[in-house]
Chains A and B, each alone.
Chain A
Amino acid sequence: MMIRLIVMVLIIVLFLLWTRKFNQSVKTGNVVPGRFQLVGEMALNFVRKSIAHDQLGEKDGERFLPLLTTIFFMVLGMNITGIIPFANIAGTSVIGVPLVLAAAAYVTFIYAGIRRHGMKFFKNSLFPSGVPVYFYTLVTPIEFLSTFILRPVTLVLRLMMNMIAGHLLLVLCFSATHFFFFQTDGLFRAFGAGTFLFGFAFTLFEILVSVLQAYVFTLLTTVYIQLALADEH
Chain B
Amino acid sequence: MISKILAATAPEGGELPNPLLPADYDIIWSSVIFVILLTFFWFKVLPGFKRMLDERAKAIEGRLAEAEEAQKAAERRTATVMAEQEKLRSEASSIREEARSEGATILAELKEQAAKEAERLVENGKSSLLAERDSASRALKAEIGALALELASRIVNEKLQDDKVANRVVDDFIAELEGKKVK
- A contacts, CB < 8 Å to B: 1, 4-5, 8, 11-12, 15-16, 18-19, 22-23, 25-26, 29, 31, 41, 44, 65-67, 69-70, 73-74, 94-97, 99-101, 104, 160, 164, 168
Contact = CB atoms under 8 A, between A and B. Distances in A.
What secondary structure prevails in chain B residues at the interface with A? helix
Instruction: Rank and list the top 6 A-B pairs by shortest CB-CB distance, nearest first.
Output: A96-B26, A96-B30, A66-B42, A22-B52, A31-B56, A19-B48
Given A74-B34, A96-B27, 5 more contacts: A4-B33, A44-B45, A44-B49, A66-B42, A104-B38
Contacts of A66: 38, 41-42, 46
B90 interface: no
Nearest to A104: B34
Contact of B31 (A16, A23, A67, A100): A100
Contacts of B56: 25, 31
A29 B62 CA distance: 12
A12 B40 contact: yes
Contacts of B31: 100
Contacts, number: 102
A95 B52 contact: no
A19 B40 CA distance: 11
B29 A1 contact: yes
Interface string B14-54: 00000111110111011101101110111011101101100
A19 B56 CA distance: 15
Contact of B20 (A22, A95, A97): A95
Contacts of A100: 27, 30-31, 34
Contacts of A25: 52, 55-56
B67 interface: no
B5 interface: yes
B19 A29 contact: no
B65 interface: no
A57 to B, nearest CB: 16
A74 to B, nearest CB: 5
Given A25-B52, A29-B55, A31-B59, A19 B26 contact: no
A22 B23 CA distance: 39
Contacts of A70: 34, 37-38, 40-42
B33 A74 contact: yes
Interface of B: 5, 19-23, 25-27, 29-31, 33-34, 36-38, 40-42, 44-46, 48-49, 51-52, 55-56, 59-60
12 contacts: A4-B30, A8-B36, A11-B37, A18-B49, A19-B45, A26-B55, A31-B56, A31-B60, A66-B41, A69-B45, A73-B37, A95-B21
A1 B27 CA distance: 10
Contacts of B48: 19, 22-23, 26
A12 to B, nearest CB: 6
B29 A69 contact: no
Contacts of B34: 70, 74, 97, 100-101, 104
A22 B49 CA distance: 6
A26 B51 CA distance: 7
Nearest to A15: B45
Contacts of B52: 22-23, 25-26, 31
Contacts of A44: 45-46, 49
Contacts of B60: 31
B14 to A, nearest CB: 16
A93 to B, nearest CB: 9
B59 to A, nearest CB: 5
A26 B38 CA distance: 23
B29 A4 contact: yes
A26 B53 CA distance: 9
